[in-house]
A and B are shown apart, each in its own frame.
Chain A
């Protein structure tokens, strides 16, 4: 890693909900400027909680950071107000497709730039539509009636309207057809390259996330249990066995085989 200070740094962060339920236990991770960092792990490992600790949303669920330190671009944002964090260029894309259902696609996008006062709105819209051309013909549609893939594109596009330096992406592939998810990941990578925007990506789909990330962290029960750059994670045997569906004894199965196997399994199940 370079000697520059990282854009985002979580150091030994503990998160406690309602004063009694501890979810994060000394979690540490860093996101260098301009990098894509994946945060992997099983359900309930604390991935989303880590993102919410960064974006300041814990307070809405009676949670707070009780120990440790979250630094962003040289400032301390531990337990800061979400709006103040957004204004610094750190934008979260929530999980579960939370579009503003009664607003049109265009209004959703404009809402993404809510805190920006002086900017060229048509140019910003054109920039977002450049990444997601499919949104162009949907601009007047009510966002609540979009398909899942369209909603996810809208959410990433809405976050882009804020021109963030760091985007927190919570499970963008959830509930999407594999092909759509693949396209979405490719676009996310493209945005990262073109804008130099750092991305912290939480994903269940480890294989897809590892395809586009530079670094990865694996969480289990609130701790970071494994981290490394992409190549190291792909070579790690635990990683291969637990998250990528590759066995130790066999040679690497082709993606096609895995896909086929999964598909058959779903049919049989």
Chain B
């Protein structure tokens, strides 16, 4: 729904991502606030937000594969891992960051194609199982490959990146880098949604036979969906490698893949905004519960560490469950309703 008084006379303006002046201003204000945040925020918060940006990129990729194109992917964490290891290897070889990021993305995307090929034949649960295979095979593959390639079971260490002669060693520099990459990737994800390719993705998800008779090749479309999604994962993995400065197979678990799917579900599968809101919500909730648990432990109220850890997880699960029950279409849908209510105020409905 558009605000009153806004009309479009051409398709380009109507299909634009930012269609009104207030939208542009709010977005600029948000970005400015995020850029200036390190001036006031502590190191812990900045570190948290850096990881949040990285996770959001991976979930944005999952939104393309699973949300737009309807291809279930339980192996996103393995693709993040593939990007991380390739990035670590390339960084050790002395490649600069502007080259490492896209190459890591392409490597992860190329790897995903191998697991996307079964997607031509299988759907739903069966496809979930083949992507699960990617997740299971990933650590075995890395460990079994010669240690000179990816460090085997020991993993690889990574030096801080250097961009244009400046060494991005500090937390703030990494935060700004990850934020910048997130902005670029999010813009790309939003644009995929309104492009010809995005339309083909969604046509295939809605009805694959109807898509076929429109001349949309399911093989190419599914491969493209996996390729795009895993590219995002690979870029996220590269940033992760630079941020953590050390990669091993234990960082990219099935758990993490499930969390990615969970974040997407909570945020809303159908739009890229859902990926961002879901990541924000789940990550902040996790962090809040973790610090609350820590505070409880420090206060020494007679509870044991194990009990507090279990309780925070149960609470986290319950909150996510409640979110899915009360807003099955995700936070992004709720956000859309809020925006619509704001626009038609003071009328209750149009």
On A, residues with C-beta under 8 Å from B are 55-57, 60, 81-83, 86-87, 91-94, 98-103, 107, 110-112, 114-115, 121-122, 158, 162
* Other-chain contact of A114, B11, B200, B209 (Cβ < 8 Å): B200
B-side contacts of A100, CB under 8 Å: 202-203, 206-207, 210-211
B209 contacts A98, C-beta separation under 8 Å: yes
Q: Does B245 contact A (CB under 8 A)?
A: no
Q: Does B199 contact A (CB under 8 A)?
A: yes
Majority secondary structure of chain B interface residues (helix, strand, loop or mixed): helix
Tell me the bound Cα distance from A102 to B203 in angstroms.
8
14 further interface pairs, Cβ-Cβ under 8 Å (given A83-B215, A112-B214):
A82-B213, A86-B215, A91-B214, A94-B210, A98-B209, A99-B207, A102-B202, A111-B199, A111-B203, A111-B211, A114-B216, A121-B11, A122-B11, A162-B214
Q: Does B212 contact A (CB under 8 A)?
A: yes
With A107-B199, A114-B199, A121-B11 already in contact, the answer to whether A82 and B212 are too (CB < 8 A) is: yes
B207 contacts A111, C-beta separation under 8 Å: no
On B, residues with C-beta under 8 Å from A are 11, 196, 199-200, 202-203, 205-217, 270
Tell me the bound Cα distance from A86 to B216 in angstroms.
9
Tell me the bound Cα distance from A158 to B207 in angstroms.
14
A-side contacts of B209, CB under 8 Å: 57, 60, 94, 98
22 A-B pairs in the complex with CB atoms less than 8 angstroms apart? A55-B213, A57-B212, A60-B208, A60-B209, A60-B212, A94-B213, A99-B207, A100-B202, A100-B203, A100-B207, A102-B202, A103-B199, A103-B203, A107-B199, A111-B199, A111-B200, A111-B214, A114-B199, A114-B214, A115-B216, A121-B11, A162-B215
B196 contacts A114, C-beta separation under 8 Å: yes
B220 closest partner in A (C-beta): A83
Tell me the bound Cα distance from A162 to B217 in angstroms.
15
Within the complex, the shortest CB–CB distance from A117 to chain B, in Å, comes to 10
Within the complex, the shortest CB–CB distance from A118 to chain B, in Å, comes to 13
* Other-chain contact of A110, B199, B207, B211, B212 (Cβ < 8 Å): B199
Within the complex, the shortest CB–CB distance from B9 to chain A, in Å, comes to 11
B-side contacts of A115, CB under 8 Å: 214-216
Q: Which of B208, B209, B217 has the largest count of A CB atoms less than 10 A from its CB?
A: B209
B-side contacts of A111, CB under 8 Å: 199-200, 203, 211, 214, 216
A98 contacts B210, C-beta separation under 8 Å: yes
B216 closest partner in A (C-beta): A114
A-side contacts of B196, CB under 8 Å: 114
A83 contacts B216, C-beta separation under 8 Å: yes
A55 closest partner in B (C-beta): B213
Within the complex, the shortest CB–CB distance from A119 to chain B, in Å, comes to 13
Tell me the bound Cα distance from A188 to B207 in angstroms.
24
A144 closest partner in B (C-beta): B206
A-side contacts of B270, CB under 8 Å: 102
Tell me the bound Cα distance from A7 to B196 in angstroms.
31
B-side contacts of A107, CB under 8 Å: 199, 202
Within the complex, the shortest CB–CB distance from B121 to chain A, in Å, comes to 11
Tell me the bound Cα distance from A224 to B205 in angstroms.
36
With A100-B206, A101-B207, A103-B206 already in contact, the answer to whether A86 and B199 are too (CB < 8 A) is: no
B212 contacts A83, C-beta separation under 8 Å: yes
Tell me the bound Cα distance from A268 to B165 in angstroms.
87
A-side contacts of B203, CB under 8 Å: 100, 103, 111, 114
Within the complex, the shortest CB–CB distance from B12 to chain A, in Å, comes to 11
Tell me the bound Cα distance from A235 to B81 in angstroms.
73
Tell me the bound Cα distance from A107 to B203 in angstroms.
9
Q: Which of B205, B206, B216 has the largest count of A CB atoms less than 10 A from its CB?
A: B206
B198 closest partner in A (C-beta): A107
A83 contacts B217, C-beta separation under 8 Å: yes
Within the complex, the shortest CB–CB distance from B335 to chain A, in Å, comes to 17
B-side contacts of A55, CB under 8 Å: 213
B210 contacts A87, C-beta separation under 8 Å: no
Within the complex, the shortest CB–CB distance from B59 to chain A, in Å, comes to 20
Within the complex, the shortest CB–CB distance from B208 to chain A, in Å, comes to 8
Tell me the bound Cα distance from A93 to B210 in angstroms.
8
A100 closest partner in B (C-beta): B206
A158 closest partner in B (C-beta): B214
Closest 8 pairs between A and B when the two form their complex, measured CB to CB:
A115-B215, A86-B215, A98-B210, A100-B206, A82-B212, A92-B213, A83-B217, A98-B207
